[in-house]
Amino acid sequence: MLSAVGIVLFCSAIGAYGRPRGRILGGRETAPHAMPYMASLQEGGKHICGGFLISQEWVLSAAHCLEDTANGTFQVLLGAHSLTAPEPNKRLYGVRRLAAHPGSSEETNEDDLLLVQLSEPATLGPDVKTLPLQSEDRELPARTFCLAAGWGFTKNTGQRPDRLQWAELPTMSRAECNERRFHDGEITPRMMCTEVKSVRRDTCKGDSGGPLVCHGVAEGVVTAGSRVCGNWRKPGIYTRVAPYLPWINGVMASPN
């Protein structure tokens, strides 16, 4: 499914008259560098999570992305469309500091944020740009169309895309997302959801840490707790950004 950007689009298992068509499509490939804030968080040279550039030196991602990492070296790839092909403004940065939110835990999706400080300020340009964060702590109306992108799974069977994928995902109200048939009370006021529905557009494994972009600003971060992807009963879950601005600004301002 649409992994954090490995957006899996099950384009429909259902046709116009509700007949199953059984066809599975992946999400769409972005135009190269259309989302210049996207980062690939890598360990030992392998993509593990998405992230996005919020200042010249800092990338925001998800705390769970540090789980089951074999204490290999973390690096951040910026300016990429393909993970493997040579690209002029693509560059791998070292990591100076990893700051997981102190409230994050392996068991829940609570406070699932990670700040990554690059070893040196990123070189900005047309392919490498920062994404502004939502500063107003207000809930978006349900069915606001937002964008998610990533190099995560494009199928539940584990297909990994080489090039950045994206999907348009409508928000679901917290009240609806907390209904018993969906996430049954697990969604806190600091989280938000997107609908999966019958089109099965969703984020998936490896898309975590990437942004949910609504009206051009980062509204949420794809959570990294494991979940089924592309199932209408399991809406996508995001950590809302606005409630965490004090923590984000505090970490970025603190000396290391």
Site for ligand 5W5 contains 119 (CB under 6 A): no
Site for ligand 5W5 contains 229 (CB under 6 A): yes
Dist. CA 241–CA 192, nearest whole Å: 10
* Nearest-approach distance from CB 255 to ligand 5W5, in angstroms: 29
Site for ligand 5W5 contains 29 (CB under 6 A): no
Site for ligand 5W5 contains 193 (CB under 6 A): no
- Give which of 191, 147, 188 is closest to 167, Cα–Cα: 147
**Strand, coil or helix: 176:** helix
Q: Which of 33, 47, 64, 101 is catalytic?
A: 64
Indicate if 111 belongs to the active site: no
Rule CB under 6 A: which of 34-53 touch ligand 5W5? 47-49
Task: State the DSSP H helix or E strand holding residue 193, giving kind and residue range, or none if neither.
Answer: strand 191-194
Number of residues near ligand 5W5 (by CB under 6 A): 24
Indicate if 64 belongs to the active site: yes
The smaller minimum CB distance to ligand 5W5, of residues 48 and 118, is found at 48
Using CB under 6 A, pick the residue from 35, 54, 64, 182 that binds ligand 5W5: 64
As beta bridge partners, residue 232 has none
* Nearest-approach distance from CB 6 to ligand 5W5, in angstroms: 5
Site for ligand 5W5 contains 240 (CB under 6 A): no
Q: Cβ(73)–Cβ(43) under 8 Å?
A: yes
Site for ligand 5W5 contains 187 (CB under 6 A): no
The smaller minimum CB distance to ligand 5W5, of residues 113 and 222, is found at 222
Give the DSSP letter string of 13-78.
Answer: SB-TTS-B-------EEPPTTSSTTEEEEEETTEEEEEEEESSSSEEEE-GGGGTT--S--EEEEE
Dist. CA 60–CA 11, nearest whole Å: 30
In a 10 Å sphere around its CB, with 0-12 CB exposed, 13-18 middle and 19+ buried, how is residue 73 labelled? exposed
Using CB under 6 A, pick the residue from 39, 115, 116, 222 that binds ligand 5W5: 222
Indicate if 47 belongs to the active site: no
Helices (H), the chain: 174-177, 245-253
Site for ligand 5W5 contains 226 (CB under 6 A): yes
Q: Cβ(218)–Cβ(58) under 8 Å?
A: no
Calculate the dihedral angle through the C-alpha atoms of 43, 160, 111, 106, rounding to the nearest 10 degrees.
Answer: -70
Select the span of 19-27, 175-183, 197-205, 238-246 touching ligand 5W5 (CB under 6 A).
Answer: 197-205
Q: Cβ(82)–Cβ(163) under 8 Å?
A: yes
Rule CB under 6 A: which of 120-179 touch ligand 5W5? 151-153, 160
Using CB under 6 A, pick the residue from 204, 214, 218, 221 that binds ligand 5W5: 204
Judged by the rule CB under 6 A, the positions of this chain that interact with ligand 5W5 are 3-4, 6, 47-49, 64-65, 67, 151-153, 160, 203-208, 222, 224, 226-227, 229
Residues with active-site annotation: 64, 112, 208
